[in-house]
Structure 1
Amino acid sequence: MTPSSLPLFFTVVLANVVFGRPSQTPSLSTPGANVVAKDIFILAGQSNMAGRGGVHGGKWDGNIPPGCKPHPSILRFSAKHKWEVAKEPLHADIDVKKICGIGPGMPFANEVLANVSKTRVVGLVPCAIGGTRMTKWARGTPLYARLVHRANESLREGGAIRGLLWFHGESDTESRIDAEAYKDRMETFINDLRSDLNVPNLPVIQVVTPSGDKKFMDTVRRAQKEVNLPDVWWVDARGLNMKSDDHMHLTTISQVHLGRNMARVFLASYGPSSPHT
């Protein structure tokens, strides 16, 4: 399979489409008149997915850029398993041991909504937890069980799971063993999740971790790009701005750029005008 790239509206990041082929994965087709269809996306991984944009000194600054504004057609599945209008921070009641801010989820949802039928609803299911290695997401662990449970519960009022947004890997750059095992562990995780959710071609949009000073960063970045499964795509976060106070988490504006580019990768393959639809 040969990597290809999508044209971008921003020059700060290159959204590279590397794996994937036409499949029977449900697409964002336009529903019939007077029908509201819920397209559900799981948000998982660690702190950058949970959102640290705008968090400084243990407090979130409350700044919500236009790309993260609430919309009545963007819903969030709460920790209490209730659908509600989504608003930042999306993971406030999920990643409860940390202060959450802006992540890529709302920019993704707003970009998707802007390019599909207005009779649709985008549903977000936050599941990310900061500081978690890949082994913490393996089948049989509490985090994996919680993700599957929340995803299944989100379907009770209708809708379909359209994709997994995955931003992870920083914690696995600290150990050679974890870094070198990342590709195999990620492929196992995806296969297990597709099986347990009964969505065999579940699209996965994963973020290739930004640059950093961890010893095995390049090993993990390479592993993320080499995941060899159908309907798995990656967006490279290298070049996006990091917060100056920790040099590990993306700034608010970088999260907006990232979320939009993840949406463009998804829409290029599964949107209303995509070749797969």
Structure 2
Amino acid sequence: MDTVGVVAEQAQLPQTPNHIFILSGQSNMAGRGGVSKHPHGHTHWDGLVPPECQPHPCILRLNATLNWEPAREPLHRDIDSRKVCGVGPGMSFANAVRDHLGGGCLGLVPCAVGGTAIKKWGRGQQLYENMLKRSKESMKSGGEIKALLWYQGESDTSTYHDAEAYKGNMERLIRNVREDLGLPCLPIIQVAIASGDGKYTEKVREAQLGMDLPNVTCVDAKGLPLKDDNLHLTTQAQVTLGHMLADAFLTNFNAPLLNSKNRTIFESA
């Protein structure tokens, strides 16, 4: 094969990412921006992709068949497959951080599933094991997982017991995922919820904002605009959240040496 043929063949090979980010949690991470119910009962996504969420050649996505492909909205379309997905925070996050990573491609690993309480993310549960499998697969091409972005908790606001248990369950999840991935210092950026299914939203938020573990930081979604359902962030709110997550990552974790005591709360105001 001549040189031109070799170059052409290499150009067709799928790219692989150097910098990997896990996106996990429930519906607000999976993305419901631009999703609404049709008067006749059908749920649909309006297909509107903000400039901040546009595809880029160096942003990839691990799809449901564990293959890397160009990332585009909705990122969770084949992961949270029982629901209609729209815009989430992942693409605006990726576009905001991609030029600050020292070159190479960025890979997103969607794992979020709507309506899932934290007990469904326990070790041995299908959701956790699937996240683990996808995370391990993402590293096989030589990339490094830079952070887990976690937005979940709305389904734990209905009873006092669930809200009271949230902090311990979340701390256990963090310990488990770090141990099972062999990444003891894996940065975790969680989102303090802006809404909930029940009356104990503030108790879950208190647990999220009060998490005191090394390399765990929190951004606060409270105050970001919600859709008419008062549960899911609007498209523009998701764009803003993506930028908040990017600021948290670049401020706390995008440095040669991690300060394990570094923990900052970024507010939406």
TM-score, normalised with respect to structure 2: 0.86
**How many residues in Structure 1 have an aligned counterpart in Structure 2?**
239
What is the distance in 2 between the residues matched to 1:141 and 1:189? 11
- Give the structure 1 partner of residue 74 of structure 2: 89
Structure 1 residue runs of 4 or more that deviate by more than 3 Å after TM superposition: 272-276
Structure 1: segments with no counterpart, 5+ residues: 1-35
Retained in 1: the 8 A contact 2:155–2:197?
Answer: no
How far is 1:212 from its partner? 5.0
- Give the structure 1 partner of residue 254 of structure 2: 271
Structure 1 pair 37–143 and aligned structure 2 pair: CA distance change class (3 A): closer
What is the distance in 2 between the residues matched to 1:38 and 1:171? 34
Aligned pair 1:260/2:266, yes or no? no
Q: Deviations over 1:72-112 (max 9, x none)?
A: 10000000000001000000000010000000011110000
- Give the structure 2 partner of residue 55 of structure 1: 35
Q: Deviations over 1:109-129 (max 9, x none)?
A: 000013333x32110000000
Structure 2: segments with no counterpart, 5+ residues: 1-15, 38-42, 260-269
What is the distance in 2 between the residues matched to 1:273 and 1:82? 29
What is the distance in 2 between the residues matched to 1:81 and 1:258? 26
How far is 1:272 from its partner? 5.0
TM-score, normalised with respect to structure 1: 0.83
- Give the structure 2 partner of residue 155 of structure 1: 139
Of structures 1 and 2, the one scoring higher in RCO (CA 8 A, sep 6+) is: 1
- Give the structure 1 partner of residue 89 of structure 2: 104
- Give the structure 2 partner of residue 227 of structure 1: 211
Aligned pair 1:207/2:187, yes or no? no
Structure 1 pair 184–98 and aligned structure 2 pair: CA distance change class (3 A): same
How far is 1:214 from its partner? 2.5
Larger of the two Rg values belongs to structure: 2
What is the distance in 1 between the residues matched to 2:246 and 2:24? 15
More helix by share: 2
What is the root-mean-square deviation of aligned Cα atoms in Å? 1.5
What amino acid does structure 2 have at the position aligned with 1:131?
G
- Give the structure 2 partner of residue 142 of structure 1: 126
What amino acid does structure 1 have at the position aligned with 2:52?
G
What is the distance in 2 between the residues matched to 1:187 and 1:264? 23
What amino acid does structure 2 have at the position aligned with 1:43?
L
What is the distance in 1 between the residues matched to 2:197 and 2:101? 40
How far is 1:270 from its partner? 2.1
SS at match of 1:154: helix
SS at match of 1:114: helix
- Give the structure 2 partner of residue 129 of structure 1: 113
What is the distance in 2 between the residues matched to 1:182 and 1:210? 16
What is the distance in 1 between the residues matched to 2:215 and 2:223? 25
The correspondence for 2:158, drawn from 166, 174, 184, is 174
How far is 1:250 from its partner? 0.2
Retained in 2: the 8 A contact 1:187–1:228?
Answer: no
- Give the structure 2 partner of residue 236 of structure 1: 220
Structure 1 pair 262–274 and aligned structure 2 pair: CA distance change class (3 A): farther
What is the distance in 2 between the residues matched to 1:253 and 1:230? 31
How far is 1:133 from its partner? 0.4
How far is 1:271 from its partner? 2.1
Aligned pair 1:165/2:149, yes or no? yes
- Give the structure 1 partner of residue 200 of structure 2: 216
How far is 1:247 from its partner? 1.0
The correspondence for 1:251, drawn from 214, 230, 234, is 234
What amino acid does structure 2 have at the position aligned with 1:102?
V
What amino acid does structure 2 have at the position aligned with 1:135?
K
Q: Deviations over 1:157-177 (max 9, x none)?
A: 110111100000000001111
Identity of matched residues, %: 52
What amino acid does structure 1 have at the position aligned with 2:114?
G
SS at match of 2:100: coil
Structure 1 pair 273–140 and aligned structure 2 pair: CA distance change class (3 A): closer
What is the distance in 1 between the residues matched to 2:174 and 2:254? 22
